[in-house]
Amino acid sequence: MKVEDLGLVPYERIDAILEEHIPLAKKEDHLLLCTHLPVYTIGSQPYACDLPLVPTDRGGSVTYFDEGCLMLYFAFKVPSPARFYAKVIQAVQNFFNTFDPAIAYDRKRPGFYIDGQKIASLGFRYKNGASKHGVSLHIAPDLGAFNRIEPCGLKGVRATSLQELGFTLDIPRAKELAIKVVKDVFKA
């Protein structure tokens, strides 16, 4: 697995970066880590609001990203989307187990939650046998901006973060831990 730390990337550029990596996934999996400037994005499910939304081809509805969200983009060869997705879920669960095992995946409302509050979002698309898009881990985002929407269009759900839960973690350390759990689960 090749790991690339892209740093701070405007969201509008990430699609082109992922498209460049999809053909490469046939030979080697690529895990891309980055943060984004503040942006609201919309996936395949509609969401009505008065905020500017950047369209994307991932699944899901509306979400928010900023420098406090660690993005894990997967450009992986995927012979079985179900097995791949299960491994992503396991890696993210392992990440959060480091802090609080009560943070868990919810199959009915895809994402990770604690006390009904969303702390990680997942959105994927599969193209030419490879994965595209990934996971947003809420390390220390601007929750005021985040909670101007209903994360993923889920009524009554609010976003939370590791910072709000009282955990001290910066993005560089979060990247180290994320790389470790992804490599462990994908045996890379």
Please tell me which residue in 34, 49, 69, 152 is annotated as part of the active site. 152
pTM of the model: 0.94
Determine the Cα–Cα distance for residues 30 and 47; give it in Å rounded to an integer.
31
**Model confidence over 59-114: pLDDT tens digits?**
788 999 999 999 999 999 999 999 999 999 999 999 999 999 999 999 999 899 99
Indicate the CATH number of 2-186 among 3.40.50.970, 3.30.930.10, 3.20.20.140, 3.40.190.10: 3.30.930.10
152 among known catalytic residues: yes
Average pLDDT over residues 131-153: 93
Residue ranges per structural domain of the chain? 2-186
Q: Encode pLDDT of 50-71 as tens digits.
A: 888 999 888 788 999 999 999 9
pLDDT for 188 equals 62
Cα gap 62→53, rounded to integer Å: 8
pLDDT in tens, 158-188: 999 999 999 999 999 999 999 999 999 999 6
Beta strands at 39-42 and 54-55: parallel, antiparallel or unpaired: parallel
Residue 146 confidence class, pLDDT cut points 50, 70, 90: very high
Residues 131, 76: contact at Cβ < 8 Å? yes
